[in-house]
Structure 1
Amino acid sequence: MASELHFSPVLSDALVILGAAGIVIPVFARFRITPIIGFILVGMLVGPFGLGRLVFDYPWLQYVTITDPQGLDPFAEFGIILLLFTIGLELSFNRLWQLRRMVFGLGALELTISAALIAFALMTMGQYWTGALGLGLALALSSTALVLPISGTKSPVGKAALSMLLFEDIAIVPIIFLLGAMAPYASSDGMEGLWYTIWTGGLTVIVLMIGGRLLLPRLFAQAARTKSPELFLAASLLVVIIASLATAAVGLSPIVGALLAGLLIAETEYHTEVEGITAPFKGLALGIFLITVGMGVDLGVIIDNAWPIFLAVSAVLLVKALVTGGLLRMMGARRGTAVETGITMSSPSETTLIVLSAAATAQLIQPQTAQFWQIVTAIGLTITPILALLGRKVARHVDTAPATDEASQETDPSEGRAIILGYGRVGQLIADMMTRHDQRFLAIDSDPELVTLARRRKHPLMFADARGPALDRIDLSKASAIILTMDEPVLAGRLLRKLRERYPDIPIIARARDTAHAAELYRAGATEAVPETLESSLQLSEAVLVNVGVAMGPVIASIHEKRDEYREQIMREGELTKKPKLKTSLASRNSEASGEPV
């Protein structure tokens, strides 16, 4: 039993993949190079066309090579599914509705024109029109798995790429049906099957949307109450798998279901926590996919056909870059945005391999032709990160105009808002006061009961745990202020140091238990630290003085003076080298002038 376990191909492949991830990610990060290239190179090295060729001569190489390349396909597909799921988490139905013209306008034009030009070129070279059309549609697709992680979804380039890639993901189903209908042996059943898939798929999507809106908030609220990250992860993966299986069962791509699951969860308060907890699995699964891409690159065939392959890759890249960039310029995009998007989107896609396989199965192209274009696709995927870097550099040269607010049109959750970390008793009071004075804010808490309360009080709240990695994924650089309200001194100090190191210029106001804790928070970088014991004493003093007959104005002034004295004392105890500016002094002067209490 031990011997069988020792020589298990599954364990051997798993060790190779995990070892690759452990080496590639830190090494390439050290040199600030995307690990995408590293995973593809590892696939070329350990695949059947690399060291795998030498396993029969050197049996020990089986421990550092992939012995079952086909066995990795399900994991690679799951990686793409998780990628589309996380893309859905970054979107929302409102944002998707805003992109509808780009998706069905720009996306449709880019795919149609690119496919037509590539097909026309192949027809002039002697390819029959059905095969040329199949190849044109396959090569016109661009890589969702590589482009979006590089470009993001909120920049002008990311928005344009997302629009086109969404349309391509939707179009993949009718493309495959079209190729089947054009097969020499196909009958009219092909188009009937397409219409059947369209209406059953549409019905499935509607059911998932209605069911998701009703069930997902309750599901994640129950998972959150357990305080168990494992259960939260299980619930997230369950939603992804059910949605993917549902769309696959009616003939749609499983990535449609994954994208829909992400969109539905993005509408809940739990999307940040879900995104953070599934990120490691997505990265590893995407790495497996990239390794499978590298394993398909045969350097021997490339060397033997170097010139035709070079011309084919160059032609595909040139046609797609010109079409994409030209369409974006016609639609009013800046030159830099058009150039960078065109170059980044110019390589073929992982779904190109699927369409090529469908075209070969339908006998529209010969197996040798399919193999040639599979190599072209693998090379295109390999150089996608290089193309993105090239596009970024070229964009800087061709676009000297100042950047517009195009990127800022996307709503940043922290932009211009005060961030309240903790929505307990103190956080709720601050939220009420912010609402009364028409100030924008966003509360962050990991208590599902408080999520329900915030929804009932119409306070914006994001579900995230300040102790976990989810908060690290939230960009607070555009926040107007950060308020720490948690009643946990150790956590508050640790979190404050992290926030101050990351955001040195943002005001951070922290709740303290007593004067000693306040001094510690000042040392950690707090702009203001408010001890509860001091404030309760001052409020009690104010009530006593007013009730014994002292006028309100002098009482308020003396309370503020005493507060400033205590704060200066606390800061001296904290051994601050630079005192924060005391905003309360200005507030007290304003209150004295207006005669109103602060």
Structure 2
Amino acid sequence: MSTEAHPIVAVPYVLEIVAFLVTVVVLVPMMKRIKVSPVLGYLAVGAIIGPYALGWVSDVAGVQHVAELGVIFLLFTIGLELSFERLRAYSKLIFGFGSLQVGLTAIVIAVAAWTWGNSVQVAIIIGLCLALSSTAMVMQLLAERGENATVHGRTSFAALLFQDLAVVPILILLGVFGGDSGDSLWVNVGLALGKAVLVVAVIVIIGRYVLRYLFRVASATRSVDVFTAMILLAVLATSVATGMAGLSMALGAFLAGLLLAETEFRHQIESEIEPFKGLLLGLFFMGVGMNIDFVMAFDKGIWVLLSVLGLLGIKAVIASCIARLFLPTWGASMRTGLILAEAGEFAFVVIGQATLTYSLMPADVGQFMVVVAGISMALTPVLAWLGQKVEEGLQTQEPALEVAQEDAGRIHGHVVILGFGRVGQSVASVLASQGIPYIAFDANTQLVKAMRLKGEPVFFGDGSKVDVLERAGIAVASALLITTGDVTTSETMVKRVHAQWPALSILVRARDAVHSHNLIASGATSVVPEALEASLQLSGHVLCALGLPREEANACMEVIRRNNYDALPKSKMSL
């Protein structure tokens, strides 16, 4: 009788891969059809095939090591959508909201864990690791729902970025509690932070000069394989560098994305990396589902339920209250708090090391915490839905001007938008993507309500009134954008604003050439004639349809555009 192993056994994780691909091909389209997040499908399949259910997967740790690449690629793509300049706009939220959220949440959870009979060291570790939220879960859901650029989306991202930075001191503290070093806590902290800063500085300095050159070399080969390999090398090399320094590997990938966001290869990189990110993230969510121990969940059902609800409640309340210090409304604050209420993937790492590596935490306590963390993460889509409903329910009929004044009192250098139709929304989307704050007004109550439900800083008001603009912080704004299509109204607005704030940049959507001349005469800084732009766009398409190369058509249209704009008065026009 032959004792040779079955061929399937020779291929590691083949059953897991098959189950994962079946999920992608069959379950995900079904979930999208019924308008349910595919994340729930991945979690459910992972829980079913995991060691605590059907038992098809026994090496959960091995699967998770591969699946963690999903989080790495997710942070890389987030970095690609930002830049160092745009990141500075988030600094207040990152180090203000983020630090307060992590610190206060960790203290409250640690006190609760200590009261429940855990040692001081174990309580501190539990508090710190459960204070963090799931970057993968939250960012994926925000992307699916198109909420990355909303108020709660930007605030959540800032908090998650700070949490990635907090990984370093938490791991240092875990090592100190484990007794792996004879040095003092402050010596360990100083050395680790110094090494971390050095590694980040080296990545940024070298990356700025080397990455662009390497990608130019790779693109010159005109080989998709070489270009894709260069992307993977950039992501994994920076991730390994930060990982060896004790930082989060995802933070290294984020830095790589930031560096490449400033290059001409950004859009091609996004296109090539998207399949890797999507598939590996799905595998990561399945790995989370595999950690849910149904036996323990049923044996200690009431305690698991109370612990999950307690964790979600504590984190949601604390994050919501802190967010209210930085955000204009309770609706946006509570929506932020709810989507950050779950535990994060880092909890599995810390609890595993505290239990197995350092023997700080009893095995049964560690497994209980893993189950609570896993279930809370599985509830993230529900929390996102609940946050939306809570914000909708908190929409009040209070005068929008009071809210606008409160919002404007917290920002400066913002853009005030009068008219939030298609043009205003398009401009606002660009501003949000660049991290530039804005406050918008519109006279359509239904539109205002719909936009505020999405977390947009849009208010009902008459932009032709000076007091409305004053409450919107026009005196400290960087520019005023008027998108209203009414000729008389826009000219009246320009005259009043220019008379009151002559140094303010006023940008206006114009109907035609005559309207453009009148607006500039009234004090507009810059105008865009919509009739001219629409005709130029159509003319360009016609030329291309007739066989003229795109570059020549664009050059022709640019000459016509320049001639028309040059006909406007030069004293007020800026292009």
TM norm structure 2: 0.69
Distance verdict in 2 for CA 1:230–1:530, change over 3 Å? closer
Distance verdict in 2 for CA 1:514–1:140, change over 3 Å? closer
Structure 1 Cα separation of the partners of residues 174 and 57 of structure 2 = 33
Q: Does 1:510 align with 2:512?
A: no
Shift of 1:514: 8.1
Is the Cα contact below 8 Å between 2:60 and 2:291 reproduced in 1? no
Shift of 1:398: 0.6
Q: Does 1:87 align with 2:87?
A: no
Shift of 1:183: 3.4
AA partner of residue 204 (structure 1) = V
AA partner of residue 34 (structure 1) = S
Could you tell me which of 360, 365, 368 is aligned with 1:369?
365
Distance verdict in 2 for CA 1:509–1:382, change over 3 Å? farther
Could you tell me which of 335, 341, 344 is aligned with 2:339?
344
Q: Who is 2:474 aligned against?
A: none
AA partner of residue 5 (structure 1) = P
Structure 2 Cα separation of the partners of residues 108 and 515 of structure 1 = 56
Task: Note the alpha carbon deviations across 1:174-225, whole angstroms, 9 max, x for none.
Answer: 1111122123676326653432222122112111111111122222223333
Task: Note the alpha carbon deviations across 1:326-358, whole angstroms, 9 max, x for none.
Answer: 011123431111011111100100011112223
Shift of 1:142: 0.5
Identity fraction in percent? 32
Q: Who is 1:12 aligned against?
A: 15
AA partner of residue 46 (structure 1) = I
Structure 1's unaligned 5+ residue stretches are 53-64, 416-478, 485-503, 522-528, 540-559, 561-582, 592-598
Shift of 1:516: 5.7
Could you tell me which of 67, 73, 79 is aligned with 1:76?
67
Distance verdict in 2 for CA 1:359–1:7, change over 3 Å? closer
Shift of 1:530: 13
Is the Cα contact below 8 Å between 1:42 and 1:291 reproduced in 2? yes
Q: Who is 1:468 aligned against?
A: none
Q: Does 1:134 align with 2:125?
A: yes
Structure 1 Cα separation of the partners of residues 59 and 193 of structure 2 = 36
Give matches, 1:237-252, under 5 Å: 237-252=232-247
Task: Note the alpha carbon deviations across 1:1-23, whole angstroms, 9 max, x for none.
Answer: 99743444523322222222212
Is the Cα contact below 8 Å between 2:93 and 2:326 reproduced in 1? no
SS at match of 1:48: coil
Shift of 1:260: 0.7
Q: Does 1:380 align with 2:376?
A: yes
Give matches, 1:94-109, under 5 Å: 94-109=85-100
Give matches, 1:182-581, under 5 Å: 182-183=177-178, 187-188=182-183, 191-360=186-355, 361-400=357-396, 410-412=431-433, 508-512=538-542
Task: Note the alpha carbon deviations across 1:350-398, whole angstroms, 9 max, x for none.
Answer: 0111122233243432111111010000001111011101111111111
AA partner of residue 16 (structure 2) = D
Structure 1 Cα separation of the partners of residues 239 and 196 of structure 2 = 12
AA partner of residue 274 (structure 1) = I
Distance verdict in 2 for CA 1:240–1:118, change over 3 Å? same
Task: Note the alpha carbon deviations across 1:283-323, whole angstroms, 9 max, x for none.
Answer: 11111111111111122221111100111011111111111
Distance verdict in 2 for CA 1:340–1:513, change over 3 Å? closer
Structure 2 Cα separation of the partners of residues 482 and 375 of structure 1 = 61
Is the Cα contact below 8 Å between 2:149 and 2:433 reproduced in 1? no
Structure number, greater radius of gyration:
1
Structure 2 Cα separation of the partners of residues 349 and 194 of structure 1 = 23
Structure 1 Cα separation of the partners of residues 206 and 382 of structure 2 = 42
Distance verdict in 2 for CA 1:336–1:229, change over 3 Å? farther
Is the Cα contact below 8 Å between 1:248 and 1:254 reproduced in 2? yes
AA partner of residue 394 (structure 1) = V
Distance verdict in 2 for CA 1:215–1:530, change over 3 Å? closer
Could you tell me which of 45, 50, 53 is aligned with 2:53?
50
Is the Cα contact below 8 Å between 1:147 and 1:344 reproduced in 2? yes
AA partner of residue 229 (structure 2) = A
Distance verdict in 2 for CA 1:483–1:373, change over 3 Å? farther
Structure 2 Cα separation of the partners of residues 110 and 19 of structure 1 = 39
Count of aligned pairs between the two proteins: 439
Distance verdict in 2 for CA 1:267–1:338, change over 3 Å? same
Distance verdict in 2 for CA 1:69–1:183, change over 3 Å? closer
Task: Note the alpha carbon deviations across 1:7-63, whole angstroms, 9 max, x for none.
Answer: 4452332222222221222111111211111000000111112222xxxxxxxxxxx
Is the Cα contact below 8 Å between 2:327 and 2:333 reproduced in 1? no
Structure 2 Cα separation of the partners of residues 219 and 514 of structure 1 = 35
Distance verdict in 2 for CA 1:530–1:229, change over 3 Å? closer
Q: Who is 2:504 aligned against?
A: none
Shift of 1:507: 5.4
SS at match of 2:324: helix
Q: Compare 253-262 and 222-231 and name the one that shifted more.
A: 222-231
AA partner of residue 164 (structure 1) = A
Structure 2 Cα separation of the partners of residues 126 and 28 of structure 1 = 42
Structure 2 Cα separation of the partners of residues 344 and 515 of structure 1 = 48
Structure 1 Cα separation of the partners of residues 180 and 192 of structure 2 = 21
TM norm structure 1: 0.66
Q: Who is 1:150 aligned against?
A: 141
Q: Who is 2:115 aligned against?
A: 124
Is the Cα contact below 8 Å between 1:104 and 1:167 reproduced in 2? yes
Is the Cα contact below 8 Å between 1:200 and 1:250 reproduced in 2? yes
SS at match of 2:540: strand
Task: Note the alpha carbon deviations across 1:222-261, whole angstroms, 9 max, x for none.
Answer: 3333333332221111101111111122222222211111
Shift of 1:117: 0.8
Q: Who is 2:472 aligned against?
A: none
Q: Compare 212-221 and 224-233 and name the one that shifted more.
A: 224-233
Structure 2 Cα separation of the partners of residues 30 and 310 of structure 1 = 30
Q: Compare 5-14 and 246-255 and name the one that shifted more.
A: 5-14
Is the Cα contact below 8 Å between 1:511 and 1:531 reproduced in 2? no
Q: Who is 1:29 aligned against?
A: 32
AA partner of residue 104 (structure 1) = F
Structure 1 Cα separation of the partners of residues 545 and 291 of structure 2 = 65
Q: Who is 1:166 aligned against?
A: 161
Q: Who is 1:423 aligned against?
A: none
Is the Cα contact below 8 Å between 1:356 and 1:370 reproduced in 2? yes
Structure 2's unaligned 5+ residue stretches are 405-415, 418-427, 437-527, 569-575
